[in-house]
Amino acid sequence: MRLLSIVYALVGPTLAGMLITAALTLNMVDARSLIAAAGAGFVLGLPVAWLVARQLQRLS
């Protein structure tokens, strides 16, 4: 569980930043779009962090 939270602390903001950048590139500059992109990044970060943490635990 500790490894999952450490990985999520890195993955969540990274995905949120990537999706915000994508939204800005698509000229979606209203607050609703940017908040949705950030929220989606943090939500999508959970399963990604879980998969990465599981793989890291298998390696050790």
Q: Give CA–CA dist 18/13, Å, rounded.
A: 8
Give the pLDDT confidence score for residue 13 in this predicted structure. Answer: 97
Give the pLDDT confidence score for residue 60 in this predicted structure. Answer: 78
Structure confidence by residue, pLDDT tens digits, 1-50? 899 999 999 999 999 999 999 999 999 999 999 999 999 999 999 999 99
Q: Which two tokens stand for residue 40?
A: 């989606």
Q: Give CA–CA dist 2/57, Å, rounded.
A: 11
End-to-end CA separation in angstroms for the chain: 15
Decide: pTM greater than 0.85: yes
CB atoms within 10 A of CB 44: 16
Give the pLDDT confidence score for residue 43 in this predicted structure. Answer: 97
Q: Is 22 helix (H, G, I), strand (E, B) or coil?
A: helix
